[in-house]
Structure 1
């Protein structure tokens, strides 16, 4: 399984942790839920997803 390392602001991390507790999910499941289009998509997660997609597209373009 590929591994993803994220650098996020402490406040945003705490908010994700709180949302995970509120939704009775693990932090990973909360992030996955948001990325898959859960009830409320955060702007931060939208921007993160766009950045990940752009990085992936750039890697593909560099490979040929």
Structure 2
């Protein structure tokens, strides 16, 4: 709730991590994103559970 007051948005869709040529679903994590402009804020507000965001693998932590 603290970060939401500052403009952060909870990601509603799927989360995955890319390592080499494979992607791994990581739905057990919950992330928040900060929109840098109005267009990004609108996209995040309208995201659904069918949308996916993917990040590169980092040693030690996923998100």
TM-score (norm 1): 0.29
Give the structure with the larger strand fraction: 2
Give the structure with the larger helix fraction: 1
- Larger Rg: 1 or 2? 1
Greater relative contact order (Cα 8 A, min sep 6): structure 1 or 2?
2
TM-score (norm 2): 0.30
